[in-house]
Amino acid sequence: MIFTTSFEKHSDWELSLKNNEDGGEAILEALRSLNVEYVISSPGSEWPSFWEALARQKKNGTPGPTYLDCGHETLAVSMATGYTQVTGRMQAVLLHAGAGLLHGSMALYGALGMETPMLVMSGESIGYGEGEFDPGPQWYRSLNVVGGPQRLVEPIVKIAIQATSVDTLYQSVVRTGELAQRTPRGPTYLCVSMEAMLEEWSRPESMRAVPPPPKSQPAAADIADAASLLAKARCPFILVENAGADQAAFNALVALAELLAIPVLDSPGACVANFPKSHDLYLGLDATPYLEEMDFALLVENEAPWYPPSNSPKRAKIVTVGNSPLKETLVYQVTGAEQYLEGDVALTLRLLIEALRQQKLDASAIAARHARWKAEHDQLRQRLDATEQKAATESTITVPFVTSLLREVVPDAVYVDETIVHARLIREHVNWDEPFGFFRAPNGLGQGLGYALGVKLAMPKRTVVVTIGDGTFLYNPVIAALAFADEHELPLLILVFNNAKYAAMQYYHDKFYPSGTAIAAKDYYGVELKGVKYEQAAAMIDGYSSRVETPAELKAALNEALKSIASGKSAIINMIMPAKVR
């Protein structure tokens, strides 16, 4: 007896397929219309028609997106997020069925929180082998999702829809991509059936180049009101969280601060570099010392400026500038804003500057304010410098020493941080004077390496330094990330901040139970991480690896690691650090 495999079942039908343009070409043409540069994929068996279209694109020399395969869904999504954070341009991500969506769901949720536009697609079968087309038994037995894969991601994307016909496929892809770029921006999802992708596609008579999303701006009267109040303020402050992903917004923020000598406070949770750290008006991360005297607070892309939320300035007029300042992704949000200037941040800040120049400004008050805040800035810088000088004399590796050493040996570094207990110190001691020098990985540990690869893809000539906790390193798809970095010559310098524990867990246990049994007996749960040789992962791609315990060892290791980076190979340095940070 001869048994026929499922892959041979419909061979006559499969042989009848001609090299016609089908749904795969419709998808690729839509991505061209959307000006997508990269299709980043952790692939599945639903995509042969798209791959066939890519093969035709290459053979014919047709301009179009570059396809990047990577071995993990979290990696694919977080790479797209990192790339878009630098460039501002939306990319596409192809995943596998519902299983791939679930694997990438944390990164999708992170992209939603960061308002990162992204077009995400995965496939399904709607016939399960009952007709001429045989998708394979896996689609019947294990890959189908009741209600469709879109059900799985509806809460974590802007919109989740389905395309089951080749006749609507092109326009569905275009529309889903356009929706991702509209305010508030975020990931969108389109489920595409394999049957639709394999059907012959008739090109529309005309296909448009998709225009960029429009930039909105506040009403002129609102700008004028805010400018009048700001000009009269005696002690105004700017509190910024996530404006630095746009060069124009970064520049406009500097210009506004300089016009009125307004000090700038960074948010401790900021994900980007927002303001030059060497500037006289930069005052660091802590707003608390200034709340009593603050009489005007300009919140720039700052969704949560106060903590606790009730700890806000009681006598200040609070004005918010942002594309979408009220966040649907937050369960609870209290800014205290009395006025919203909603619209493109760079454009809004420039309009505010123009309106202020029409006001009668008090030059002497501005000069006095500048002198005061310059002195405050200088004191902040002196405190940080003193901390770094002290760290240089110690026998253990600390954050101030690491950051000062990196400034010396990698002056052009771009930092991607995914630490927890070290995060504030890193943000305080890393210096930048331009945007795109610092990034914080999205919420949800395990995205740092993928995010860093997206940043590196956008800035291939810059050295990308990943600062990552030992526990966080375990959450990341390390093998897939290193393999991708090696294949595409996007080497990362990975510094593992190893305190041999989930220190945040111990910190809060001790905080909540200061006289408890665990602290007395030193019997902690969910805390200890012992003996993992994280650096040895680099051996898989012949990269540099080192375990260091002293500042001298770190300095020598960094020099060797940079040689590895220069040769195109990632490097991992496992830095043994003090267990107590806070």
Chain segment 21-75, per-residue pLDDT in tens: 999 999 999 999 999 999 999 989 999 999 999 999 999 999 999 999 999 999 9
User: Which residue type, as a one-letter code, is found at position 55?
Assistant: A
pLDDT for residue 264:
98
Q: Domains of the chain: which residue ranges?
A: 11-198, 220-377, 392-576
Sequence-ordered alpha helix ranges (H) in 392-442: 399-409, 423-429
Sequence-ordered alpha helix ranges (H) in 21-95: 23-33, 48-60, 73-87
Helices and strands (H and E) in the chain: how many: 22, 17
pLDDT for residue 14:
52
State the CATH class of domain 220-377.
alpha beta
Q: Evaluate if residue 581 carries a pLDDT over 80.
A: no
Instruction: Give the span between the Cα atoms of 326 and 581, in whole angstroms.
Output: 34
494 against 269, higher pLDDT: 494
Q: Are 455 and 86 in contact (CB under 8 A)?
A: yes
Take residue 374 and report the two structure tokens written for it.
């310059």
Instruction: Give the span between the Cα atoms of 355 and 223, in whole angstroms.
Output: 7
Instruction: Give the span between the Cα atoms of 94 and 266, in whole angstroms.
Output: 36
User: Which residue type, as a one-letter code, is found at position 147?
Assistant: G
3-state secondary structure 87-100: HCCCEEEECCHHHH
pLDDT for residue 512:
95
Unique residue bearing structure tokens 């960029």: 212
Take residue 93 and report the two structure tokens written for it.
């991500």
User: What is the phi-psi region of residue 258: left when phi exceeds 0, alpha when psi lies from -120 to 50, beta otherwise?
Assistant: alpha
Task: Give the strand order in the sheet containing 264-266.
Answer: 264-266, 236-240, 296-300, 317-322, 339-342
User: Which residue type, as a one-letter code, is found at position 559?
Assistant: N
CA distances from 251 to 256, 258, 315, 345, 439 (A): 9, 11, 29, 11, 18
Give the number of other CB atoms < 10 A from CB of residue 147: 10
State the CATH class of domain 11-198.
alpha beta
How do 160-163 and 118-124 pair as beta strands?
unpaired
Strands (E) across 75-181 are located at 91-94, 118-124, 160-163
Torsion of CA 233, 236, 242, 243, to 10 degrees: 60
Closest by CA to 108, choosing from 124, 123, 97, 95, is 95
Instruction: Give the span between the Cα atoms of 445 and 476, in whole angstroms.
Output: 7
- In this prediction, residues 415-435 reach a mean pLDDT of 97
Identify the bridge partners of residue 468 per DSSP, sorted by sequence position.
418, 496
Instruction: Give the span between the Cα atoms of 104 and 118, in whole angstroms.
Output: 13
Q: Are 94 and 39 in contact (CB under 8 A)?
A: yes
pTM of the model: 0.95
Q: Evaluate if residue 423 carries a pLDDT over 70.
A: yes
Matching CATH topology for 220-377 and 392-576? yes
580 against 385, higher pLDDT: 385
Closest by CA to 213, choosing from 190, 185, 188, is 185
* 80 phi and psi angles, rounded to 5 deg: -60, -40
The helix-helix angle for 345-357 and 220-232 (nearest 10°) equals 60
- In this prediction, residues 260-265 reach a mean pLDDT of 98
Take residue 161 and report the two structure tokens written for it.
């829809």
Sorted by sequence, the CB contacts under 8 Å of residue 80 that are 6+ apart come out as 38, 40, 91, 92, 93, 111, 116, 118, 454
pLDDT for residue 8:
45
- Confidence tier at 530 by pLDDT (50, 70, 90): confident
pLDDT for residue 34:
97
Identify the bridge partners of residue 40 per DSSP, sorted by sequence position.
68, 93
Q: Evaluate if residue 370 carries a pLDDT over 90.
A: yes
Q: Evaluate if residue 260 carries a pLDDT over 70.
A: yes
- Confidence tier at 10 by pLDDT (50, 70, 90): very low
pLDDT in tens, 118-171: 999 999 999 999 988 899 999 999 999 999 999 999 999 999 999 989 999 999
Instruction: Name the CATH superfamily for 392-576.
Output: Thiamin diphosphate (ThDP)-binding fold, Pyr/PP domains (3.40.50.970)
pLDDT for residue 6:
42
- In this prediction, residues 453-470 reach a mean pLDDT of 98
pLDDT for residue 531:
81
Sorted by sequence, the CB contacts under 8 Å of residue 295 that are 6+ apart come out as 233, 234, 235, 236, 313, 315, 316, 317
pLDDT for residue 15:
45
pLDDT for residue 17:
55
